[in-house]
Amino acid sequence: RAAWRRDGEIFAEVSLPEGAEAGAYGLHPALLDSALHASLLAGDGQEGTGGLPFSWEGVSLYATGAAALRVRIAPAEGKDAVSIVVADTTGAPVASVDSLLVRAVSGDQLDSATGLARDALFTLEWVPVPGVPAPGGSTPGADRLALIGPDALGLAEGLARTGVEIEVHTDLASLAAAESSVPDTVLVGVHGTDGTGVGAEAGTGAGAGAAESAHALTAVALALMQEWLAEERFTGSRLVFVTRGAVAAGDEEVTDVAAASVWGLVRSAQTENPGCFGLLDLGPLDLGLLDLGLGSDGLAQLMGRLTRSAVTDEPQLAVRDGALLAGRLARLEPDMALILPVDVPWRLDSTTKGSLDGLTPTPFPEALEPLSGHEVRIEVRAAGVNFRDVLKALDMYPGDAGRMGREASGVVVEVGPEVTGLRPGDRVTGLVSGGFGSLVVGDARLLTALPDEWSWETAASVPLVFLTAYHALVELAGLTHGEKVLIHAGAGGVGMAAIQIARHLGAEVFATASEGKWDVLRLLGVADDHIASSRTTDFEAAFADITDGDGIDVVLNALAGEFVDASMRLLNTGGRFLEMGKTDVRDAADLPDGVDYQAFDLGWVDPEDIRRMLNSLMGLFGQGVLEPLPVRSWDVRRARDAFRFMSLARHVGKIVL
How far apart are alpha carbons 524 and 550 in whole angstroms?
A: 25
How far apart are alpha carbons 103 and 532 in whole angstroms?
A: 67
Task: Give which of 59, 141, 158, 142 is closest to 100, Cα–Cα.
Answer: 59
Give yes or no on whether 2-118 and 466-601 have one common fold.
Answer: no
* pLDDT at residue 429, rounded to an integer: 97
* pLDDT at residue 204, rounded to an integer: 40
* pLDDT at residue 618, rounded to an integer: 97
DSSP codes, 106-129 = EHHHHHHHHHHHHTS-EEEEEEE-
* pLDDT at residue 336, rounded to an integer: 63
How far apart are alpha carbons 625 and 610 in whole angstroms?
A: 20
- φ, ψ for residue 397, nearest 5 deg: -80, 130
Task: Give which of 204, 187, 197 is closest to 280, Cα–Cα.
Answer: 187
Q: How are beta strands 68-75 and 81-87 bridged, if at all?
A: antiparallel
Q: Would you give the DSSP letter of residue 601?
A: -
Domain-wise residue ranges, the chain: 2-118, 128-331, 341-462+628-656, 466-601
Handedness of CA 294, 299, 305, 306 (dihedral sign): positive
Query: Measured at the alpha carbon of residue 377, what is the angle toward residues 372 and 14, in degrees to the nearest 5?
Result: 125
Q: Are 42 and 3 in contact (CB under 8 A)?
A: no
* pLDDT at residue 226, rounded to an integer: 96
Pick the CATH number of 466-601 from 1.10.260.40, 3.30.1370.60, 3.40.605.10, 3.90.180.10: 3.90.180.10
Q: Does domain 128-331 sit in CATH 3.40.50.261?
A: no
DSSP E strand boundaries for 62-115: 68-75, 81-87, 93-106
CA 579 from chain center: how many Å? 29
* pLDDT at residue 208, rounded to an integer: 46
* pLDDT at residue 532, rounded to an integer: 94
How far apart are alpha carbons 277 and 241 in whole angstroms?
A: 8
* pLDDT at residue 109, rounded to an integer: 66
Q: List, in order, residues 6 or more apart from 648 with CB less than 8 Å away.
A: 251
How far apart are alpha carbons 639 and 657 in whole angstroms?
A: 7
* pLDDT at residue 81, rounded to an integer: 85
Secondary structure of residue 61 in the 3-state scheme? strand
**Does an H or E element contain 165, and which?**
strand 165-169
How far apart are alpha carbons 266 and 281 in whole angstroms?
A: 13
Q: How are beta strands 571-579 and 596-599 bridged, if at all?
A: parallel
Residue-wise over 153-169: b if at least 16 C-beta within 10 A, else e? bbbbebbeebebebbeb
CA 197 from chain center: how many Å? 24
Query: What is the CATH topology of the domain spanning 2-118?
Result: Thiol Ester Dehydrase; Chain A (3.10.129)
* pLDDT at residue 368, rounded to an integer: 94
How far apart are alpha carbons 365 and 353 in whole angstroms?
A: 22
Amino acid sitting at position 603: G
- CA atoms within a 13 Å half-sphere pointing along the CA-CB vector of 226: 6
Q: Are 498 and 556 in contact (CB under 8 A)?
A: yes
Query: Measured at the alpha carbon of residue 343, what is the angle toward residues 342 and 345, in degrees to the nearest 5?
Result: 85
Q: Are 407 and 383 in contact (CB under 8 A)?
A: yes
Q: What is the mean pLDDT of each run of 10 residues along the chain (657 residues)?
A: 85 83 80 80 57 86 88 85 90 91 74 58 78 40 72 72 76 90 88 51 45 88 95 91 86 79 95 92 57 49 52 75 79 71 89 81 93 96 92 81 91 95 95 95 96 93 97 96 96 94 97 89 93 93 92 92 91 92 80 86 94 97 94 90 85 89
**Does an H or E element contain 188, and which?**
strand 185-189
CATH class of 341-462+628-656: alpha beta
Residue 489 falls in which region: left (phi positive, over 0), alpha (psi -120 to 50) or beta:
left
Q: Would you give the DSSP letter of residue 437?
A: B
DSSP E strand boundaries for 365-519: 375-385, 407-415, 427-431, 439-443, 447-449, 484-487, 508-513
Q: Are 347 and 367 in contact (CB under 8 A)?
A: yes
Secondary structure of residue 306 in the 3-state scheme? helix
